[in-house]
Amino acid sequence: MAFHYPILLIHMLILGDHDLQQLNDHFNEVTSDFLNGVSCLNPLDSFSSFDIKKIMRMAELYPDDFDESNMRALEYQLVNYIIDIHDIEERFSNLGGLWELSIKLVWTKKHLNYSLVFLLVKFDLLLPVATTTIERAFSAMKILKNDLQNRMDDEFLDGCIVSYVEKQVFKDVSNEFIMKTFQEMKCH
């Protein structure tokens, strides 16, 4: 999904139905299903966008995490979740977004009761980070694999990209340690 997730999500939450339809016209079905599901989980305006069918459709995009039994359990959790969170639990009113919702779910220990709903909220919060990491890796690959280095093999390129993207991790590793590690490696 090559799109600017946070910006589009903000627009989706602010725009009306007509504008939302125009946004939907610009994206494929999978991206639209995902963005619609995210907007339905958002607690803005007292969960006014909550829609079980759209959230269930979004969950289908994660087949490794939501098999047939988990899908049934998720639907049951969503029905109870909206009653509990919206109608009964006053601590969930006036939340500013998904990150506040996730904090409140953990703080109240409701993430234990609604573990599958909480999993979707976590996925929604992690996607911008994952997307950014992937984009950084592709940018690094463009920098590292230029015309002069176009013949480097994939294994060497992978090593270069990891050290380029994860600079913070490698800044604490000394050159002496790296050289010693390579010297002790056996040839393949």
Task: Please tell me which of 16-20, 25-29, 50-54, 88-92 the model is most confident about, judged by mean pLDDT.
Answer: 50-54
Q: Higher confidence at residue 77 or residue 3?
A: 77
**Average pLDDT over every residue of 141-150:** 60
Kindly report the backbone phi and psi dihedral angles of residue 147, in degrees, each rounded to the nearest multiple of 5, phi listed first.
-60, -40
Residue 148 pLDDT greater than 50, yes or no: no
Residues in the chain: 188
pLDDT for the residue 156: 67
**Average pLDDT over every residue of 93-98:** 81
The pTM is what? 0.57
Residue 4 pLDDT greater than 50, yes or no: no
Quick one: what percent of the chain has pLDDT higher than 90? 17
Rounded (to 5) percent helix, strand, coil in the chain: 75, 0, 25
Cα distance between residue 131 and residue 1, in whole Å: 8
pLDDT for the residue 71: 94
Radius of gyration of the chain (CA): 22
pLDDT for the residue 173: 78
Cβ neighbours around 34 below 10 Å, total: 22
| Residue carrying structure tokens 């963005």 | 35
Q: For the segment 112-122, what is each residue's pLDDT rounded down to a tens digit?
A: 999 999 999 99
What single DSSP character describes residue 186? P
pLDDT for the residue 113: 92
Q: For the segment 9-29, what is each residue's pLDDT rounded down to a tens digit?
A: 554 454 455 555 665 566 667
Task: Please tell me which of 51-60, 92-101, 132-141 the model is most confident about, judged by mean pLDDT.
Answer: 51-60
The DSSP secondary structure of 90-145, one letter per residue, reads GGGTT--SHHHHHHHHHHTTHHHHTHHHHHHHHHHHHHHHHHHHHHHHHHHHHHHS
Cα distance between residue 85 and residue 136, in whole Å: 37
Which residues 6+ apart lie within 8 Å of 130 measured at CB?
A: none
Give how far the C-alpha of residue 17 lies from the chain's centroid of Cα atoms, to the nearest Å.
24
Q: For the segment 125-137, what is each residue's pLDDT rounded down to a tens digit?
A: 887 666 666 666 6
pLDDT for the residue 138: 66
Which residues 6+ apart lie within 8 Å of 5 measured at CB?
A: 127, 128, 131
